[in-house]
Structure formats: C-alpha cells, structure tokens
Structure 1
Amino acid sequence: MLVTASLVVPAVVHLMVHLRDIKENILFCNKLVQQLESSLEKRFAGVINRLNQSVIEPKDPFNDPVYFMAVVLDPSFKFYWLRDLKLPVNDENRLKQSIIQLILDETSKNLTTLSNGNSLSMTTTFTSSTPKPKRRKLFIYNDNNDDHSNGLTTLDPGTELEI
C-alpha cells in the first residue's frame, strides 16, 4: 500500500527549509527564490499556517488536518520532520502539543459521530501473496535516532498526554 497523505507535510517542510538555506548563500536569482517561497506559501497555506500556528482559513489550500494526522501517525515520519525546521525547543514542543491536540480533537469528533447512531462496519480481507521488495525512500528517518539526543525533542506524546 502506498500512503501519500503522510508525504505532504515533510515535503513542504523540506522545500521551506531548502529555500531558507539557499537564500543565505546565493548571489544571483534572489527574486526567483522569493517567488518560489511566495508560491509555496500560497499553494500550501493550510500546512504553513498550521506550522506557524496561525489562523487557518477554510479557503486555504491543504487546510485539512488529515495531512498532519497522517504524518505523525506514519511510523516512517512521526515527529522527525520537525527537526528540519530547527525551531527552539519551546516552539517545537508547542507545535507538537498543537498537533497532538489536533489529532485528539479530530478523533473525538469521529467518535461522537459514531456514537450518535451511525454504525461502523469493518470488513477485513486478507490475501496471501509474496511480499513486494522494499522501495528506496525519499525521506529517511532512522528509528534508532542516535542524533536525537540533542535535546530538541523533549516531548514524548505518549507520556505527557492527558486524555
């Protein structure tokens, strides 16, 4: 199965960080980099506003919380992509808490909808087939995470979360 919703946020973050980094080192094409940043902010306004913890407008493209839910719940990404932003520890923790709260809010909405008379029908079909060879990944985050000890990610969503 190929999951593409979880790729949106890390890809946007990677593009933002790349443009930020090259802007400091270029002599020419400054206007091009500015236009690329502007276009990125316009086309992915929902994602960027949520990252900046700004107000998300209903008309903003990519404003659906599913993109953040998918990336955090995807074991390949979790919160690893946040390191690329190089935020101060407090800002990073605040963003993590915001995303965790977003997931909890969306989950409670769905549970409320289900408990109001709608029934959930789940059908699972298992097929036996030969496993497909693993593909090379665009974003590689090491689960062992040896460089994770730099103190940037002190918030463990599983331990400090009260439901």
Structure 2
Amino acid sequence: MTKKHHFLTAAFWALFVLQALVIYNLTQEVKITKQEVVDARDMALKSEQYKVQLMNITMYAPLSDGAVEGIDYSGDPSLSASDNKVVPGETAAAGSNIPFGTKIYVEGLGWRIVNDRGRLIGANDIDIAVRTKEESLKFGKQERLVIINNPKKQ
C-alpha cells in the first residue's frame, strides 16, 4: 500500500468516527429534550401552580445589528416593556394575559421569563428574545407546548 492509500484510509476512518460522534451527540440531545418535555408535562399535571397550553412561538432579536425600531423593539432595544434588560435566551414577550415576571417553559427551548410585550403578540403567542435576526428568521413560527407558572401561586 502506498502512503497516499494509507492517508486516504485513515482519513476515511477519521470521518467515519467523527460522523458517529456527531450522531451520538445529536441522539443524546434529543433524549435530553424529550426528557425535559416529559418532566415538564408531569410537573404541570401534578400541580395547580402550572398551566399547560399549545402556543404560537416566534423569536425576536432586538439587540441584533439588523434590528428595526417599531418591528423588533420600541424605545431602547436593550430594555423590555417591564424596564428589565433584554437577555437573549432568558427574556420572553407575551400578551397581557401573562403578567410580567411569569416563568414559562417552552417545549424544546427551556425556561424563560416574561418581561416584554409586543404590538402583534396575542394571548396565545410567545416571542423569545434571541441574539441574531438570522436565528429568529430560521426558527420562524412554530406551535409548541408551553407551561406557564401561575403567578398567583408562585
């Protein structure tokens, strides 16, 4: 066998192992996400403290370079409607039926805190703050299970 053949064989096996690791990691992430959903549903069913409903989920990026006032934010883009800092990965906007400070769990995305509003956000909508406009556009609009921590019972 030539050096080139050995190199190609080694490269093939390296790619094979890399693909196997990627597939394994993705499988583990799916298992974790599924377990989160199961745990969240169990928690909601066992307690009056939580309300569960299917909601429309979108994302917004008020801190992104491409953010447009009046569409992605109004006023100071770094502040939410409740005058808290907008924190991508933590801040959520919801309709006025969900009070500021309410903790929500969005299926597959985790826990967020409602600290913002939006002029187009209705009673069945959640808008999650993210870092980039690209991330928000890629996510689009999805229907997901949302668990709302009843603020009266917190």
TM normalised by structure 2 equals 0.22
Higher helix proportion, which one?
Answer: 1
| Structure number with higher relative contact order (C-alpha < 8 Å, ≥ 6 residues apart) | 2
More strand by share: 2
Provide the TM-score with structure 1 as the length reference: 0.21
Compare CA radii of gyration and give the structure with the larger one.
Answer: 2
